[in-house]
Every structure is written in structure tokens, then in C-alpha cells.
Structure 1
Amino acid sequence: MDLLEYQAKALFREVGIPVLPSQRIDRPQDLKGLRIPYPVVLKSQVYIGGRGRVGGVKFVQNTIDAIAAAQAIFNLPIMGEYPKALLAEAKYNAEQEFYLAVVLNRSIRRPVLLGSQQGGVDVQAAIDRIQHVVVEQAFSPYYARRLVLKMGLEGKLINLVSDVIEKMYQLFVENDLDLVEINPLGVNSEGNVMALDGKVTVNDNALDRHPELAALLQGSPSEPAPLGSVVAMEPEGSIGILCNGAGLTMATMDLVYQAGGNPASFLNIGGETRWDLSPDVLQTRLAQGLDVMTQSKQVRVLLVNLVSGSVSCVQLAEVIVAFLKRRVWEPRGISEIRPDTLITHTVRIPQLVVRLVCSDCGQAKAQLAAAQVSIVESLDDAVAQAVTLAKSLKRK
């Protein structure tokens, strides 16, 4: 589960990672008591990426402008999510922006350090240039320095960025995290570094050892963790990927690339090792994920790859069938049309390729077949089918 930016930066501050003066804003009126000198930046606190592109980040020069901007941001849904808080932060003039991360690679069971001289909103475009260093033994400053040198940094930046990476790793280990990411790490004209945005993903299985993190993740004991973020990939891609679990998502995306496909975006709706999981959570998240992923006109083929031990294939198939019925036939102007002349219209949805690994798959196949969707048993076959469909649609 992800932390919000202001929560991640609170952890950064505890381990000495440089962050800007900031203040949580729960309502626009709070800006009258702002303790940070202007100009400031106001950031929507949501779990979705790409806030700046849709108006979720605004720079303001005074209190009047700040209150107006805050009202706009609070009323701006980003992929269906409204912020419950904003982050007001001092403005920072960065001349360079780097990408840094410490991530748990589950396939090799080792932490991996990631870094690139190209950070910020364009990091996805330069994903092939991200350097990595596998932490193969007990961590030492050697690993951080090795990554910095692979990134091509020189002079004063070698020590400054290495120090940030060491503190990121400290935070990663002490809190049993899955991911610590800084994007971007800003560098100003004086050569100083600053974590301008941050993301922290908590390992759900370790929450019993970190009650302070569990308190951050849930506003109340009954509140489910938020849906994950849609991650944009290739600008020319046309395949969307929807999976449950980070490892399954990454493996599926890798297979799509290997098969010659171009992923447009992917969404991890969360695995079944979550501490707050109830039997209906996966169904709810699947419904939400289908709605979110099919909003993009870029996604022409949606590859759904789900593995479940607690929810049957029948239950997941019911969600998919209900989604198709809801999206294919939607009323147009109900309030203006008499009941005896109700008009419906077809809504464009991507071609679905579905792979389900769970119980009662035979009955689920019949359900989806009635909706003209087939279940593909082999992941390799599902990927091949998705790639072939995407290429054929591109030629049309």
C-alpha cells in the first residue's frame, strides 16, 4: 500500500533526507494560517500519479490566490479520486532533476537501487536509461556510490546523492518497505539536492511490526486501502495491463514487451496478502480497475491477468460481465427522454483478453462466453493474443 506524499516526506525528514518546509492543508481556510512564506506550491494528495498534468499542482503567490487554487484542487477528481488533504510546500528552483528508488525485487529476493539523471514527469520516457545496482550482500556505502557513478554524476553531486541513497536504504530496511522513491530529486544552482516528491510503498505483511505505518495507512479500521495508481508507459502503446499483485503485474508487462507489444499503461489492483483484505475487496477493486483503465482512449486492448486463492473465477467473471453490460449500454439523456422512447448508445470499450487462475474456472468460462469474452488459460497465450489484437487494430 502506498503512502501519500506528505506522509512519505515525514519519513524522509526522520532519516535526514532533505525536504522542503511544508504544511498539510485540510481545507482552503487553513491557508490563512500558512507558516511558509510565499511563493508556495499546492499539491493534491491522492494515490494517483500525474497530478501536475491534470491541474492537481498549482503555484501561488499570495493567500487570496492560494485559497482559490485550493478550492479548485479539492474539487478536482484525479482518476475518480478526490483529495482529502493538500500539501503546501515552499517553491524550489531546480536546474536538474534526478530519479532515485530502492525497490524490493521479489524474483531475486534482493533490494535493488535505481537511478537516472532524467527524472520528473518524463522518467517513463527514459525508462531504458535507468541504472540499477543489486544489493547482493550486507549494505554498505559502496552500493550507493556505485549507482551514482553508473548514473554519470561528478564532483560534489557524487557524495550528496550517495548520502541520499544511503538514507533511502536505511528507511527501506528499518520499515520493511517494498519501495522508496524520490522523483524528482532536485538540484539547484548552488549544487544542493532536495527531495521534491516522494513515494513509499509499505509491505502489507510487515504492518504488525510497524503500527505507526498502519495508522498512517488507514483513516479508520474499516476503511480499505486505496486503489493503486495507473502507470503510463509507451506514448504509442495500445495495450492496457490489469493484474493483482506487483510481481504478477511486472511479469505480465515484461512478457508483453518480449512478445513485441507496446503497453500503454498498467494497473496493479492489489494482491491477496494485504492485511485489510476481505472476500469482496478483489471484486470491488476489479470493478474499479476496469472503469479506470477503460477511460483511456489509448488503451485498445486490455489484458486482465488475475490470480486468486480466496475469490472464485465465477465471482470475478460476474464483475467483468456486469462491467460490460454497464458500459456497452448506457442511457443517453434519461431525464429528457420519455420511458417509452428510451434511447441507448454503444460506448467504446477495449478488446478484453482475460486470464483467471482460481477455482470454478469452467463455470466462469461459460459466463464470459455468453458475453463474447473467452478465458485464456496460459499466460503466454494470453499475452500473444493481446499483442496480436493490438497489432491488427492498429492496422485498421
Structure 2
Amino acid sequence: MDLYEYQAKELFGRHGIPVPLGDVARTPAEARAIAAEIGAPVVIKAQVKTGGRGKAGGIKAAPGPQAAEEEAGRVLGMDIKGHLTRAVLVEVATVPFEEYYAAFLVDRTAGSFLAMVSAQGGMEIEELAERDPGALVRLPIDPAVGVDAAVAQQLVDKAGLPETAAATLQRLWDVMVTEDALLVEVNPLILTTDQRIVALDGKVTLDDNAAFRHERAPEELTGSLEGRARAKGLNYVKLDGRVGVIGNGAGLVMSTLDVVAGAGADPANFLDIGGGASAQVMADGLEIILSDPDVRSVLVNVFGGITTCDAVATGIVTALELLGERGRARPIVVRLDGNNAEVGRRILSDARHPAVRQVPTMDGAAQLAARLAAGA
């Protein structure tokens, strides 16, 4: 599960990592109140789970409360790479003297952990690695040792960071291990004009498989699509695209994602309703996907086996009845094949729901869903 920046910084604060003073706002009035409480120039930062906010206009400076309210009004509701901005982080404007990059992640290829540190922060790490590969220090981390004082010093020395950054690297590693994270990234990690090390940004991905070991805030679990899906027993992963995908069986869903991409669109999620899913599971899955504001169209691709196509069709009709007007807002492309496919198609045809379009082939369904997501 990816955290928003403000959630990542809350974790950092609990582990002794300095972050700018600030709070999250969901309305322009809240942004004004936070800026007034801070009593200094602030920055308004869109809270979306994607990069490139600055280039998209999602980060704005505000010298005072009135400007904070105005800028928050501009940023809230902004679409950044398909992600709708529902909240902004209002925090004190912090001037960097130098900018660095630091990250710990799970290296699945090596079956271990990897540290990546650079004295050149503030840009996309992919751009840095391509432009100047030698500027990015990569160091495998032995899980039995972790990042102790010696390893932290080694990273600081190799990357050319100030000595004071070593303690912060150790604390970032503590976040990685203690919180069961898959990724902990700070870009930029800055040295301020008064020589303090501060995490000016934060990106954290938590391992959902370890959620049972943690008491997460409600917004981190049930408030997220992933948390709501997990509560319903659904195998759901949020992605960055605009075509919602539902299928039965991990292999079929993965193939569907590939076909959607081949049709020129990006999938918004992975959702496998399983081989023996009931109509209720189908309804739950559709409700989750239609709750995602990034979704512009939905592709339901089911091959009937244990899960019969008539059960899937009944689930779709049931879900749309429960969703009411919300179920009419976005088109749903359905491809049914296999066990009881004709019965399932007839159920959908008889329902005459204005959002549902049936296509007999997977390629054709993906192409239509891609066109609909693009507004064509």
C-alpha cells in the first residue's frame, strides 16, 4: 500500500526524522487556518500517489493565509496524471541549501534490500540514473546487519553527503524495518541553510502482507480502496491508469491488463474475483472499482468455469442497482465467455442498463474500454 506524502511524514516524525511543520487540508478554508497557525510562508502540496506534482502545478508557494486559501482552491480537484487531488499538505516553506536523495527498498531480484543514495536530489531518480549513473550509490544491505552506524557512514562517504545525514539514514532504515515497508524514499532529503537535515518529501510503500502486525490509522486502511477491498476479501491492487479491470483468475486478469495496454490505455487496477466467486463478490468488486475517481471506464473480462457467466451477470446487475446513479456515471464493457455465457449475456441484455456494453472478444472489449476511457 502506497502512502500519501503526509502519511509518510507522520511515520517519519514517529521515528525521529525531522520534517517541516505542517498539516493536511481538504478544503481551502482548512488550508487558510493551517497557514494562520503556522504563522510563516507555506507551501501547498497536492496529495496524490504519483510523481511529477511540481511540473503539473500541484505545488504552490503561499506567503500567508489568504494566499494559502487561494492556492489550495486551485490545487484541490486538480487531475495529476489521472489522480484527483482531494487533499493538500500545508507546510512551512523550507529553503534547501543542498538537496540529496535517499531510499531503501526490497530488491526482489537479489532477494535482499538495497540502499540508493545520492548527493543530487530533487529530480526524478530515473532521470538522474540515466544522466549521471555514477552519481547514484547503490549498496546491498545485509538483512542480518541492517543499516547500523558503520553502514550509514559508508553510504554518506560514498555519496558525498554531510556527516549529519548518517543518523537520518539509520532512522529511515528503522522505518523500513519497523513498519514492514517495501520502499522508503526521500527526494529531496535536504540540508537547510541552518545546517539541519530535513525530509522535504516522503514516499513509503507498506507491505500489505504485514498489515496484521500494525495498528494503522483508519485512513491508511479502511479509507483506502486497497483497505476496503481487503475487508471484502478481494484481491485488488491499485494502478495508475483509467481503465478499471475485473477478471476471474490471476492469469486472465494479467492477460487483460496486457491487452488493455496494447489497446493504448493504462489499467487502473488489478482485481481478481477468483475462480469460485459468487454474484455478491462480483458486486463488491464492481463497487470498489466504481469508487475509484481515476477510473473512466470498466472492463469486466470473465471466462465462465466454476464461476458461471450467469452468476457474474447477476452480480453486475445487482451492483448497478445498489449503486444507483453512481453506477451510470461510467461505461462498463463486459466480455463473457465459457460456462453459461449465453445465459449471462441474456441477463445483461434484458437488464438494459445504459452503462453496460457487451463485446464478444477480449481484444474488442479492451479496445472499446480504452476508447471510452479516452472520451472517444
State how far apart, in whole Å, the 2-side matches of 1:320 and 1:189 are.
57
* Residue 185, structure 1, aligned to residue 228, structure 2: no
Q: What's the CA shift string for 1:344-389, capped at 9, x where partnerless?
A: xxx7xxxxxxxxxxxxxxxxxxxxxxxxxxxxxxxxxxxxxxxxxx
Distance of aligned partners of 1:119 and 1:76 in 2 relative to their CA distance in 1, 3 Å threshold:
same
Number of positions where the alignment pairs a residue of Structure 1 with one of Structure 2: 276
Instruction: Name the stretch that deviates more: 137-146 or 45-54.
Output: 137-146
Give the match's secondary structure for 2:80.
coil
Corresponding residue for residue 199 of structure 1: 203
Give the match's secondary structure for 1:31.
helix
Distance of aligned partners of 1:112 and 1:71 in 2 relative to their CA distance in 1, 3 Å threshold:
same
Preserved CA contact (<8 Å) 2:152 2:166: yes
**2:145 is aligned with what amino acid?**
A
Preserved CA contact (<8 Å) 2:237 2:270: no
TM-score (norm 2): 0.63
- Superposed CA RMSD in Å reads 4.0
* Residue 108, structure 1, aligned to residue 110, structure 2: yes
Corresponding residue for residue 141 of structure 1: 149
Q: CA deviation at 1:331?
A: 11
* Residue 152, structure 1, aligned to residue 195, structure 2: no
Q: CA deviation at 1:118?
A: 1.3
* Residue 208, structure 1, aligned to residue 247, structure 2: no
Identity, % of aligned positions: 27
**2:138 is aligned with what amino acid?**
H
Q: CA deviation at 1:204?
A: 1.1
State how far apart, in whole Å, the 2-side matches of 1:68 and 1:131 are.
41
Instruction: Name the stretch that deviates more: 53-62 or 74-83.
Output: 74-83
Q: Which one of the candidate residues 220, 223, 227 is aligned to 2:238?
A: 227
Distance of aligned partners of 1:229 and 1:148 in 2 relative to their CA distance in 1, 3 Å threshold:
farther
Unmatched 5+ residue regions in structure 2?
Answer: 231-235, 242-249, 255-265, 273-280, 298-305, 308-334, 338-359
TM-score (norm 1): 0.60
Q: CA deviation at 1:33?
A: 2.1
Q: Which one of the candidate residues 70, 73, 87 is aligned to 2:72?
A: 70
Distance of aligned partners of 1:117 and 1:318 in 2 relative to their CA distance in 1, 3 Å threshold:
farther
Give the match's secondary structure for 1:212.
coil
Corresponding residue for residue 29 of structure 1: 29
State how far apart, in whole Å, the 2-side matches of 1:288 and 1:187 are.
37
Give the match's secondary structure for 2:55.
helix
Q: What's the CA shift string for 1:185-235, capped at 9, x where partnerless?
A: 0112333211000011000110111131675133166367773458xxxxx
Distance of aligned partners of 1:181 and 1:315 in 2 relative to their CA distance in 1, 3 Å threshold:
farther
Q: CA deviation at 1:51?
A: 0.8
Unmatched 5+ residue regions in structure 1?
Answer: 231-243, 249-265, 273-277, 293-309, 333-346, 348-396
Q: CA deviation at 1:11?
A: 0.5
Q: CA deviation at 1:166?
A: 0.2
